[in-house]
């Protein structure tokens, strides 16, 4: 069983930066791809970014390319999402997700992820 705990959310102004962290329990972290998703009020959960098991391959949705960076530290069982140039439309609850052990390729499909964190709120004011 893998448990994921996000942190780092908050209230910021447009143009500011935040770094989200997701700490994972368990010894299988380094063999699993990780992802970040978000859900705004009244909207469906949407893909933000994914990173493969080693951290060598990343993929982003178009609306965050050039602004957000996903990374991971397998020694610390932690994945990060650095968010720069934040916009009001980035306001959402951000969720960390992990694929099951051995599934090392990243994915933009929420159904590929077996474990989810509780989410952290990011609010960007204009």
Q: How much is the pLDDT for 90?
A: 98
Least confident of 33-42, 45-54, 98-107: 98-107
**Nearest of 114, 119, 100, 103 to residue 48 by alpha carbon:** 119
Q: How much is the pLDDT for 100?
A: 87
Q: How much is the pLDDT for 118?
A: 97
Q: How much is the pLDDT for 39?
A: 98
Pairing label, strands 115-116, 46-51 = unpaired
Whether the per-residue pLDDT at 96 is higher than 80: the answer is yes
Q: How much is the pLDDT for 47?
A: 98
Whether the per-residue pLDDT at 27 is higher than 80: the answer is no
Query: What is the residue-averaged pLDDT of the chain?
Result: 96
Q: How much is the pLDDT for 101?
A: 83
- What's the CA gap between 50 and 72, in Å, rounded? 10
Q: How much is the pLDDT for 120?
A: 98
């Amino acid at each position: 069983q893998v448990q994921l705990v996000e942190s780092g959310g908050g209230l910021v102004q447009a143009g500011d930066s935040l770094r989200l962290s997701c700490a994972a329990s368990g010894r299988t972290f380094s063999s699993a791809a990780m992802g970040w998703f978000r859900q705004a009020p009244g909207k469906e959960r949407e893909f933000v970014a994914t990173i493969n098991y080693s951290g060598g391959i990343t993929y982003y949705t178009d609306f965050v390319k050039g602004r957000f960076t996903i990374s991971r530290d397998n020694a610390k069982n932690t994945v990060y999402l650095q968010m720069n140039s934040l916009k009001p439309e980035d306001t959402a609850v951000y969720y960390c997700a992990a694929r099951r052990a051995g599934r090392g390729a990243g994915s933009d499909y929420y159904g590929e992820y077996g474990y989810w964190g509780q989410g952290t709120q990011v609010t960007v004011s204009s």
